[in-house]
Amino acid sequence: MKFHLWTAMAVGLLTSLGLVQNASEKELDKLQGTWTVVSMTNDGKAASAEHIKGIRFIVKGHDYSLQGGEDNYRGKLTLDASQRPAKIDASFIDTSGVEKGVAQGIYEVDGAQLKISWREQGGNRPGQFASTAGSKVRAMVLKREK
C-alpha cells in the first residue's frame, strides 16, 4: 500500500513540474522576437526619449540580447509563469564576454506590449511594474516590432 502511495505522489509531483515547465515554455514563446523599448525608468529616474531611442530587446529561444543603449547585454532567460506576477530571471554578459550577474524580475505580456521590472544589483525581486528612487529597479515598457 505504501508503495502505491509513494508512486502516486511521485507521479503527481513530476506531472505538476511538467505542467509548470510547459506553462513557462508557452510564456517564453510569447516573448520570441524583437521588442523596442518605449519607456524606461531606472532607480526612479525616467529615461528621455533620446536615451531609449533604438534600444531593442531580442529573444531567440532562451537567449536574449539588449542592444542599442549605453550598455549592451546578452544572456539566458528563465521564466516562472506559475507565479503572479510572472517571474523572469536574466543572466547577463557584457559585449566583452564578462558575466555581470543575474537580474531578477517580473514581467507581463499583453498582446504587443511587454512590461519588465527587474533588479540587477541583488536584493529582493520587485513586486510591481514601477521604479522608485532608491529601489535599484529598472522598469521598462516595450512594444513588439512587426
Q: Is the pLDDT of residue 140 over 70?
A: yes
Q: Is the pLDDT of residue 106 over 80?
A: yes
Q: What whole-number distance in Å separates Cα of residue 115 and Cα of residue 129? A: 7
Banded model confidence at residue 124, pLDDT cuts 50, 70, 90: confident
Give the range among 16-20, 59-63, 88-92 with minimum mean pLDDT: 16-20
CA atoms within 13 A on the CB side of 87: 12
pLDDT at 112: 96
Per-residue DSSP letters for 65-93?
A: EEESSSS-EEEEEEEETTSSSEEEEEEEE
More confident residue, 6 or 99: 99
pLDDT at 8: 46
More confident residue, 63 or 93: 63
| pTM for this prediction | 0.79
Q: What whole-number distance in Å separates Cα of residue 1 and Cα of residue 37? A: 57
Banded model confidence at residue 105, pLDDT cuts 50, 70, 90: very high
Full set of structural domains in the chain with CATH:
2-144 (2.40.128)
Q: How is residue 27 written as a grid cell? A: 510564456
pLDDT at 130: 94
pLDDT at 22: 62
Percent of the chain with pLDDT over 70: 84
Q: What whole-number distance in Å separates Cα of residue 41 and Cα of residue 26? A: 28
Q: How much is the mean pLDDT over the chain?
A: 84
**Are 142 and 114 contacting, i.e. CB atoms less than 8 angstroms apart?**
yes
